[in-house]
Structure 1
């Protein structure tokens, strides 16, 4: 279950540079789109008021802040991420909201020492599919959770369960250099599509009482916003980095044309096809 050693380095570089900066600029859009998944994760992971929770791959902090509010002043929510720009945004949001019980740490949860048996629960919204060594990462997270403590995370199911995800890329492919062929076993968005794989990783890393349930979360979005996300994050964004203005305009036109048939009453009624995974330390 160990990926290329370069995977960890690539993820850190991406989220501290182009990917992280794009998310900072699109934070409101990202939070709004993923609100239903955020609520499901926080509800599932919540260990009780006054407890401690670690949020893996917290990004701009939406899930950490939501859990901090739920835990109350006597609790602690620690968000962990590899992206300095996103954590700076998260810290600013916590400060503005006066959430002193929300804290953030820079580091890779695969190796970062978060303390032994310190947390009552660990959670993640889309933050656990990018480790270079999944077994090592989940073993490290388990060390940070008290005996009997809960793990709860949302991850994507297969591309077939999320058909709109491929529409922009397919529409733009003829205008761009060949895009890398996705490896379903490599760290990435759909790395946990196979529930048997997830089960095996968690079992080998010491978790028990594992449950993997379908989560179909409504994520309605406007045509304009989905076009923006498609062009600013993911494979198209990487391919456009060195493209000229004419090519960029043609790509945008192709993406809009491909997404237009999916608009209903002014909105694309997208649904995130996920797994909600739970386990005990």
Structure 2
């Protein structure tokens, strides 16, 4: 169990490097979600947007393009590997209004009120103290600034995202997570808990809306995805060869149900979380 939790959180090691290597494929996969978040983020014409858990920069750059030339988008992440890649992408497209900070948004000393909106695409579920994290992020946002975040709903509602883990768990001796709210992909699956956390951290006008978004990838992309990402992908290289072969066999079988005419299709079951920073208006 500890191996799974460790690889879930190792964004600045093997996992971060995997996301860099697979960036083009992951950007294609999550493009529909990127567009939804960017659309929502620019609704109120913000000037300075913070992107929490920006990874390799796809959402940061998408928002920066929409805000140019007057607005900016700043991504923050703990993974130096992903941030280096994001900076190179920004330079390649001369996105001078996109910048990137290395740090943990839970503890980073942002300038008070320096942003008027904050967004995140699957980047807020890994804080060890989410209430403290969103109190800190809230301090960085001017009163009235909006939060818009996409997070995963439950494991049960996301069978594609959990297929590898469910298939390989019996071979690896993994049991079900003891704490469903431990930091990780599905830590924000309970909408009532999400709303309580945000209100306790000083946010108001909290809204949590169910969202199902069709995502697609090629069969070739699936092969790399299943072997390189997630808890199973992280542990595969360290397995002895016979066990690794057995795990690979069950992975191939687990994803067959998602293949339609040579391509993968699945619904990403998400929550779109929104809230407002500062004191509730009278």
TM-score by structure 1 length? 0.91
Query: What count of residue pairs does the alignment treat as equivalent?
Result: 273
- Cα distance change on mapping 1:84 and 1:165 into 2, 3 Å: same
- Cα distance change on mapping 1:51 and 1:223 into 2, 3 Å: same
Counterpart of 1:179 in structure 2 is: 174
Q: Moved runs in structure 1, 4+ residues, more than 6 A?
A: none
Corresponding residue to 1:141 among 137, 141, 147: 137
1:208 positional shift: 0.8
**CA offsets, 1:59-111, max 9 Å, x none?**
00000000100111221110000000000000000000000010000000001
- Cα distance change on mapping 1:180 and 1:58 into 2, 3 Å: farther
**CA offsets, 1:226-250, max 9 Å, x none?**
3322221222123323213343333
- Cα distance change on mapping 1:253 and 1:157 into 2, 3 Å: same
Alignment of 1:199-218 (within 5 A): 199-218=195-214
Counterpart of 1:3 in structure 2 is: none
Corresponding residue to 2:164 among 146, 161, 168: 168
CA RMSD of aligned residues (A): 2.0
**CA offsets, 1:206-263, max 9 Å, x none?**
1111111011111112333233222212221233232133433332222112211331
Separation in structure 1 between the aligned mates of residue 259 and residue 203 of structure 2, nearest angstrom: 42
TM-score by structure 2 length? 0.91
Separation in structure 2 between the aligned mates of residue 94 and residue 180 of structure 1, nearest angstrom: 41
1:10 positional shift: 5.7
Separation in structure 2 between the aligned mates of residue 233 and residue 202 of structure 1, nearest angstrom: 29
**CA offsets, 1:128-148, max 9 Å, x none?**
000010000001111111111
Counterpart of 1:157 in structure 2 is: 153
Separation in structure 2 between the aligned mates of residue 117 and residue 172 of structure 1, nearest angstrom: 46
1:181 positional shift: 3.2
Contact 2:8 2:230 in 1 (8 A): no
Separation in structure 2 between the aligned mates of residue 12 and residue 110 of structure 1, nearest angstrom: 18
Corresponding residue to 1:26 among 10, 22, 40: 22
Q: Which runs of 5+ in 2 are unaligned?
A: 278-282
Contact 2:106 2:133 in 1 (8 A): yes
1:266 positional shift: 1.5
Q: Which runs of 5+ in 1 are unaligned?
A: 1-5
Aligned-partner SS, 2:101: strand
Deviates more, 1:223-232 or 1:17-26: 223-232
Aligned-partner SS, 1:219: strand
**CA offsets, 1:112-161, max 9 Å, x none?**
01211111100000000000100000011111111111000000001121
Aligned-partner SS, 2:10: helix
1:164 positional shift: 2.0
1:48 positional shift: 4.7
1:167 positional shift: 2.0
Separation in structure 1 between the aligned mates of residue 33 and residue 222 of structure 2, nearest angstrom: 17
Counterpart of 1:68 in structure 2 is: 64
Corresponding residue to 1:17 among 10, 13, 32: 13
